[in-house]
Amino acid sequence: MTFFGTFADNPVWSVVPEDKEGNVGEDVSFHCRLTGLSEDGPLPRWEHKIDGTLKTIISIGGESFSECCKVYGNFDSGEYNLLIQNITHKHEGVWQCTHVQAVPQIRGATLKVSVSPEWESSPEDVNATIGGEVRLSCWLTSLDKDDPKPRWEHTRNGETHAVSEGDQAFLPNCQVFGNFSIGEYNLLIKSVTSEDEGTWRCSHDQANPRSQSGFLTVKEVVGEESSDKTTTIVIVIVSLLVISSIVILIVFIAKYCRRNPQEQPHLRARNHEQVS
């Protein structure tokens, strides 16, 4: 029989749980290790407390009593870590590793659970002309004031450059705007050049997925000379249509007069009376 200590010796905490933060749906681990445990002595156990009140005994030794939790580690060396799977707000509170012979008997840590930010609005593929401007959307809900802020990046020809962090833009032709208090960090790109073409990505490490992107296509501006040529062509076409209409009208009148010769003597008599 192998002994890791005696009942007269107090086990020593070599690893203790530390405070953790996680998002809803993630897995979180707390670590607990005691040296000097007796093989025949009591085993460490995990407990969950909410608002200072013991809620549940989660495990004793390597046996877990909760579907959400699993005890793992090298039990022979006194390692009894706790894995909490798919955390929700009900898992918030103090998680404590307890051993009746250790001094102190309890070591605990606090778990804080947040809601993962969700994409309310994200950038889309868009076209722009040189010298113009374009707006790209980035709106994440459920952002806490202490959470990291969204950031913008630009990728062109395989090279990625940081554009902004929170409301601070790093490029002179870029500006972050929106209602920052609700997680809106849109991007305005001014005086667009051909160098602005490429993928524009809004990212947040706690969001799922972590980033959303859109592709900006930059097009050449139609020159004034080309515009003038187009206007001239339109004028010429309209003029030809007008002239054609006049010619058709004259031809029609001439044909009408030839088909009605009886009116011509009447016209000559009237002209004769006017001369007399």
Residue whose tokens read 């877990």 = 64
Which of helix, strand or coil describes residue 274?
Answer: helix
Residue whose tokens read 């799922």 = 208
Number of separate helices (H) and strands (E) present in the chain: 2, 22
CA angle 207, 144, 83 (to 5 degrees): 60
Residue 227's pLDDT is 59
**Level-2 CATH architecture, domain 12-114:** Sandwich (2.60)
d(CA 129, CA 64) in angstroms, rounded, equals 63
Task: Evaluate whether 58 touches 47 at the Cβ level (below 8 Å).
Answer: yes
**Level-2 CATH architecture, domain 118-219:** Sandwich (2.60)
Residue 24's pLDDT is 84
Residue 128's pLDDT is 96
Residue 269's pLDDT is 52
d(CA 92, CA 139) in angstroms, rounded, equals 27
User: Tens place of pLDDT for every residue, the chain, 276 residues?
Assistant: 333 334 447 899 999 999 999 888 899 999 999 999 988 889 999 999 988 888 789 999 999 999 999 999 999 999 999 999 999 989 999 999 999 998 899 999 999 998 888 899 999 999 999 999 999 999 998 887 777 899 999 999 999 999 999 999 999 999 999 999 999 999 999 999 999 999 999 999 877 788 999 999 999 876 544 556 777 888 889 888 889 889 888 887 877 777 665 555 554 555 555 545
Residue 228's pLDDT is 66
Contacts of 219 (CB under 8 A, 6+ apart): 127, 128, 129, 130
Domain ranges of the chain: 12-114, 118-219
| Closest to 64 measured CA to CA, from 50, 78, 43, 49 | 43
- Assess whether the region 12-114 and the region 118-219 belong to the same CATH fold: yes
DSSP string, 211-272: EEEEEEEEEPPPPHHHHHHHHHHHHHHHHHHHHHHHHHHHHHHHHHHHH-TTHHHHHHHHHH
For the CA atoms of 83, 87, 89, 92, the dihedral, rounded to the nearest 10 degrees, stands at 10
Output phi, psi for 247, to 5 deg.
-60, -45
d(CA 88, CA 91) in angstroms, rounded, equals 6
* Measured CA distances, 153 to 80, 95, 126 (Å): 42, 39, 16
